[in-house]
Amino acid sequence: MQIVPVLDLRDGIVVHARRGDRASYAPLRSSLFMGCDPLSALQALVRACNAPAVYIADLDAITCRSLQRALLLALREHSPVPIWLDAGFDDAEAALEAHAAGFVPVMGSESLRDSSHIAAMADRLPSDAWLLSLDADAQGPRDPAGVLQQTQHWPQRVIAMDLSRVGSEAGGVGEWLMHCRALAPSRDWIAAGGVRNRNDLDALAAAGVDTALVATALHAGSLDVQSPA
């Protein structure tokens, strides 16, 4: 099981995401490092779980289209691993620009307004050079463009992002993950939201998932990342 740590960035600092209520995200407090400096957080998280990549959500870009460009480029320059970047890309051109700058772009279904941009990404990048995030909250899918019906254009790696479970310690296997995976079982599925401990990682592996996005459990110290998955 691979663990990909998550950094949620707002106003230049790392914040603690909880249940998708972005307005209430507070500055991060972690057992791994002091403060909420993004570079310190990135380096500490990579060390803590031997991460193959880091997932970064630019909340400024997602919520108000204000990309934290200088900060993101500095993180990319100093990161020892690839950065999966969700910056609220609403079209293929913005995501392709991020790819050209050295990021692995994440196209989030909540931000897309036209599913043709998924097809454009599939045409212009290899399937392993970008990711799709299928987003949902407590009210259901966040999918205004109907991306769920466009499985033929999905990349190889797909995230099932249940915002209602993020920071909730609800467990790693949820209904949204299983619903999404059933649509395209052959994709490499990435679970996001709710992982608490090693048992949750084992449950995800049993469900056919081999990668999890994790934040809260790492900062709280409840996930033993030194034990074999």
- Token pair in block for residue 65: 């289209």
pLDDT of residue 100: 98
Lowest mean pLDDT among 78-87, 157-166, 178-187: 157-166
Domain ranges of the chain: 2-220
Confidence (pLDDT) at 31? 80
Report residue 117's pLDDT band, with 50, 70 and 90 as the boundaries: very high
Residue 145's pLDDT is what?
Answer: 95
CB within 8 Å of 102: residues ≥ 6 apart: 76, 83
d(CA 163, CA 126): 28
pLDDT tens digits for 60-103?
Answer: 999 887 899 999 999 999 999 999 999 999 999 999 999 999 99
Residue among 4, 1, 33 nearest 13 (CA): 33
User: Is residue 143 scored above 60 in pLDDT?
Assistant: yes
Share of the chain above pLDDT 70, in %: 91
Give the mean model confidence (pLDDT) for residues 156-167: 88
Taking only the tens place, the pLDDT of each residue in 13-45 is 999 766 555 666 777 778 888 888 999 999 999
Q: In the CATH scheme, what architecture does the domain 2-220 have?
A: Alpha-Beta Barrel (3.20)
> CA distances (Å), 186 to each of 105, 167, 208, in order?
21, 28, 10
**Confidence band for 228, pLDDT divided at 50, 70 and 90:** very low
State the DSSP string of 101-144.
TT-EEEEETTT-S-THHHHHHHHHS-TTS-EEEEEEETTEEE-T
